[in-house]
Amino acid sequence: MLRRTLLASLLTAPLLARAADEAIVEAARKEGALAMADSAPGENFQKFMAAFKAKYPFLEVANGFYSGPTGRVLARVNAEIDAKRLSFDVMLAANQAAWIDMTRQGKIARYESPEYPAYPSGAKMDGYWAAAQAIGVIPVYNKNMLAPADAPKTWLDLLAPRFAGRKMAIQNAAAGTQFNWSYLLTQRLGADYERKFAAQEPVVMATGAQMTDAVTRGEILLAAALDHWRAFTPEAKQAGLVAVFPTEGVPITTAPVGILAGAPHPNAARLFLDFMLSEEGQDLLDTKLYGMYSMRADVPPPQGEPTLSEIHPLLPTDMEAYLQASREFPQHFQGLFH
């Protein structure tokens, strides 16, 4: 599969290079390198970088590469910006509030990507960035431990007595995922929902991976706020994990991509941004490599997953309120769950 993708991109490379602005390509050739800070997990991202490199072989992409969890990527990039010693060109980081904030602070470069029009509002800030990855935050159970008939169908089902008393798990406040879950469900179901949910005494865990392990083993009955793609990996399917897409809608957490102001290789960065947000880039990144959603309507969902519109995605509408809530979230969370 990967080999075919690489082969295809090698064959189409000259065509696409022509499609991109020749001046940008020439300037990028002079820059010769791209430095990327990325929060997408694991080894799959290397495959995406390889596909980009195949398209623009004159760009060196390995030396400046940094990957880590979202919080660390943001801390690292901001530390460099504050010290006026930025080494990164492009950032992919799964925290939309941070993107809004950094854009206001002038830390994100303006660039009119030809790909922006393909993205819906709520998942982009025109002229600055757009969501490269979208993840549903959903309940997941193990069908070996919980009969599908007893499984929840809606968010309100999680308030049933059979899920009370440390039978469900959520992530702690450090996770952007958990903030989106909390904020968007409150928007959809009212502030009361989260309070009632907290009364069920869910277990708080440090990471999504830990939660997946716990629901796989049956240590908990339900992971109440899990990245949806974790229920669709081959191991998860074999273990019997089942994703629930509640009928009230699914909170979406996005990972935007954009160019940093003062990037050392701005033209290479433009090539990268255009590629990542293109139909081809999105199909590779989200559908093929990660099993996540693309916000583009022309990119199909990963195999075996419902389409984005079928799951009724919940996205923030008021960016100001969203940003404010994200600042208050640690205290808010602490008050409810500790």
Partner 1 sequence: MILGRRIRPEAMLGFVVTLCVATLVLPPLIAAAVAGSSAGFTPLHEPGIVANTLIFGAATTIAALLLGGGLALALAPGVPGRAMLERLVVMPLYLTPLLTAMGWNWLASPRSGLVNLVLHETLGSWATINIVSVPGVVAVSAFAFAPLPFLLISDALRALDPSLLESARVHGASAGRVFRRIVLPLLQPAALAAALLVCVEAVGMFSVPAVLGLPAGFNVATTQIFQLLENYPPRIAEATAWGVLLLGIAAVLTLAQAALLGRRSFVTVTGKAFRPAAGRPRAPRGRAAFALLYVALAAVLPLLALLWAASCEFVPARLGLMRFTFQHFAFVLNQYPKTWLAAGNSVLLGALTGCLVCGLGLGVSWVVLRGRGRGAQALDQLSMIPLSMPAMVFALGLLWVYVRVPLPIYGTALILLIAYSTHYLPYGVRTTSAALRQLHPELEEAARVAGASWMGAMRRITLPLLQPTIFAAWVLLFIMAMQEVSSSMLLYTSHSIVLSVAVFDLWENGNPSDVAALGFVQLAASFIVVSAVLALRQRRGLA
Pick from 197, 196, 193, 213: nearest CA to 205: 213
Of 10 and 75, nearer to partner 1 (C-beta) is 75
Smallest distance, partner 1 to C-beta of residue 300, A: 25
Of 13 and 174, nearer to partner 1 (C-beta) is 174
Of 177 and 278, nearer to partner 1 (C-beta) is 177
How many angstroms separate the CA atoms of 325 and 254, rounded?
16
Smallest distance, partner 1 to C-beta of residue 282, A: 21
Of 25 and 35, nearer to partner 1 (C-beta) is 35
Of 76 and 312, nearer to partner 1 (C-beta) is 76
Smallest distance, partner 1 to C-beta of residue 89, A: 14
- The single-letter code of the amino acid at 327 is R
Smallest distance, partner 1 to C-beta of residue 283, A: 22
Q: What does the CA dihedral 23, 30, 102, 70 come to, rounded to 10 degrees?
A: 120
Six token digits for residue 158: 């999680």
Smallest distance, partner 1 to C-beta of residue 46, A: 5
What Cα–Cα distance (Å) separates residue 156 from each residue in 151, 191, 193, 215, 245? 12, 13, 8, 20, 12
How many angstroms separate the CA atoms of 328 and 325, rounded?
5
Of 16 and 203, nearer to partner 1 (C-beta) is 203
Smallest distance, partner 1 to C-beta of residue 298, A: 29
Name the residues that contact partner 1, by CB under 8 A. Answer: 41-43, 46, 62-72, 74-76, 78-80, 83, 85, 87, 95, 97-98, 101, 142, 144-145, 169, 172-176, 203-210, 212-214, 216-220, 233, 235-236, 238-240, 326-327, 329-330, 334, 338
Smallest distance, partner 1 to C-beta of residue 251, A: 17
**Residue pair 34/269 in contact by the 8 Å Cβ criterion:** yes
Of 98 and 132, nearer to partner 1 (C-beta) is 98
